[in-house]
């Protein structure tokens, strides 16, 4: 049994079949700790028991460990949850988060490849998010493992396409369970929250289709950044009291108008959680405007190179995974292959939770999946993606300026360290060693793999995702950077 399988066996988010309920309002609860107020809304079963501000799901008898073998307990929310909206019968989004500790005083614990030292008693966190619009279940787990004699934080992600309407009844009970086998350990739940919301009743919003708007009612304020054939501004809609990012393109430039047309015709058809959402467009006389959802945390490059605070490693790795997911959608999963042709950190936006959103499709093209002549452009996007991965890991720009050496390519610099077998020296110094060593090595190697000057040696994006998710082993690259071919 591998580590992820054992994790799912130990801490399992369960949906238990229940009878139908009549209410369809937004249902949520939040227990930052398990006070008496929270406990009265929960049901404890089996070995589960409340203790102070926590819930012990399993028992641990230190005097007689054998009495703790086969302990099993669960906690469920007392109110049944409707997975569908009563009015529209559409599935609803939900999110649950919980923190826990798995601890033991015994010298023997775990099974086969289980690599977490549970004697350290560190707090682990898990979040499960279901997006009904895309029918995608995302799981994120942050725990700890032993690496080089040190206990280091590690994050794992799982993304799974599933229509819950085909797997579950309309009404369920939500809960968390844990169990022990031959050995004894204690599973303690520290916090738990759950929220489910009705689907959008606005068909246009549900389909994420942009609409044509007029200039009336838009207030354009601060300049977010200027580049290319125009600028991006922070806009305000008086009627809805909402903000948006407004890209203004000069009508004096034929290339600018061409990019405007490409953005409207291409990105308006795309549906993915890691792509910037185009919500509207407008052209009148010399004004060409594209209206996007407002990204509170700006662009990736602003956080990596100009931010006052440092992006934590867990956030960086999640950004890499999200961007890879977007590329998989563009290159393989949509009805046509979308060639972005301008992937860079300044075109990757970050929402309020630092989830990445790839934007700026002004240079994009659509081609059929079976067009072999277009593989060069696909490989070029893979190259650019690899450079972004190296920027995320190193905190250096694609072209780094050094006082004595002039311009230095981040690809050349990292590959030289790979040749010297000192790859981890490329890690961003601002992280101060606070990163998962295996993930850092993985991101650097995958970055070089994608940015290989020999375009024929670059991987497909699906291969990249398998490696980033630890489903495939790291590729073995040549120690010296290849020189043949170019992006």
Catalytic residues: 342
Q: How many CB atoms lie within 10 A of CB 248?
A: 20
For the chain, report the end-to-end CA distance as a whole number of angstroms.
42
- Say how far apart CA 67 and CA 202 lie, in whole Å: 56
Sign of the C-alpha dihedral, residues 374, 380, 383, 387? Answer: negative
Q: Are 387 and 421 in contact (CB under 8 A)?
A: no
- Say how far apart CA 42 and CA 174 lie, in whole Å: 10
- Alpha-carbon distance values, 441 to 30, 154, 406 (Å): 37, 13, 27
Q: Return the C-alpha torsion angle 80, 81, 83, 87, nearest 10.
A: 90
Place of tokens 């559409």: 90
- Say how far apart CA 80 and CA 361 lie, in whole Å: 44
- Say how far apart CA 414 and CA 394 lie, in whole Å: 9
Look at strands 211-212 and 278-284 and give their pairing.
parallel
Which residues partner with 246 through β-bridges? 233, 291
Q: Taking Cα atoms as reference points, which of 153, 222, 200, 267 lies closest to residue 26?
A: 200
Q: Which two tokens stand for residue 162?
A: 């599933």
- Say how far apart CA 205 and CA 278 lie, in whole Å: 11
């Amino acid at each position: 049994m591998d580590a992820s399988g054992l994790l799912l066996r130990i801490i399992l988010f369960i949906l238990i079949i229940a009878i139908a309920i009549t209410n369809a309002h937004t249902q949520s609860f939040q227990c930052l700790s398990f006070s008496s107020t929270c406990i009265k809304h929960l049901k404890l079963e089996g070995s589960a028991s409340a203790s102070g501000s926590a819930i012990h799901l399993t028992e641990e008898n230190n005097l007689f460990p054998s009495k703790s073998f086969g302990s099993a307990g669960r906690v469920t929310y007392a109110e049944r949850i409707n997975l569908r909206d009563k009015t529209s019968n559409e599935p609803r989004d939900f999110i649950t988060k919980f923190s826990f500790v798995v601890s033991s005083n015994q010298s023997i614990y775990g099974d086969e490849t289980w690599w977490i030292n549970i004697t350290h008693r560190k707090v682990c966190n898990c979040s499960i998010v279901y997006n009904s619009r895309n029918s995608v279940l995302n799981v994120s787990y942050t725990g700890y493992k032993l690496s080089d004699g040190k206990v280091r934080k590690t994050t794992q992600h799982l993304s799974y396409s599933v229509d819950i309407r085909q797997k579950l009844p309309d009404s369920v009970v939500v809960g968390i369970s844990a169990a022990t086998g031959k050995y004894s350990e204690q599973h303690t739940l520290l916090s738990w929250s759950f929220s489910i919301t009705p689907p959008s009743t606005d068909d246009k919003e549900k389909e994420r289709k942009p609409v044509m708007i007029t200039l009336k009612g838009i207030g354009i304020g601060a300049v977010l950044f200027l580049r290319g054939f125009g600028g991006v501004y922070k806009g305000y809609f008086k009627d809805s009291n909402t903000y948006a990012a407004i890209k203004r393109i000069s009508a004096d430039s034929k290339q600018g108008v061409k990019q405007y047309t490409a953005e409207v015709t291409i990105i308006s058809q795309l549906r993915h959680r890691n792509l910037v959402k185009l919500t509207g467009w407008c052209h009148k006389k010399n004004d060409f405007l594209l209206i996007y959802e407002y990204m509170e945390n700006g662009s990736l490059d602003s956080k990596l190179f100009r931010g006052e605070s440092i992006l934590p490693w867990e956030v960086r790795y999640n950004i890499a995974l999200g961007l890879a997911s977007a590329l998989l959608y563009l290159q393989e999963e949509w009805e046509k292959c979308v060639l972005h042709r301008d992937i860079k950190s300044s075109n990757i936006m970050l929402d309020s939770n630092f989830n990445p959103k790839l934007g700026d499709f002004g240079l994009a093209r659509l081609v059929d999946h079976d067009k072999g002549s277009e593989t060069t452009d696909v490989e070029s996007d893979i190259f650019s993606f690899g450079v972004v991965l190296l920027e995320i890991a190193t905190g250096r720009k694609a072209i780094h300026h050094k006082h004595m050496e002039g311009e230095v390519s981040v690809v050349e610099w990292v590959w030289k360290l790979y040749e010297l077998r000192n790859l981890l020296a490329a890690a961003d110094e601002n992280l101060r060693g606070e990163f998962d060593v295996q993930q850092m090595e993985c991101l650097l190697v995958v970055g070089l793999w994608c940015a290989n000057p020999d375009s024929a040696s670059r991987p497909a994006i699906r291969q990249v995702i398998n490696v980033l998710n630890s489903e495939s082993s790291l590729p073995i690259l040549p120690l010296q950077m290849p020189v043949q071919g170019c992006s």
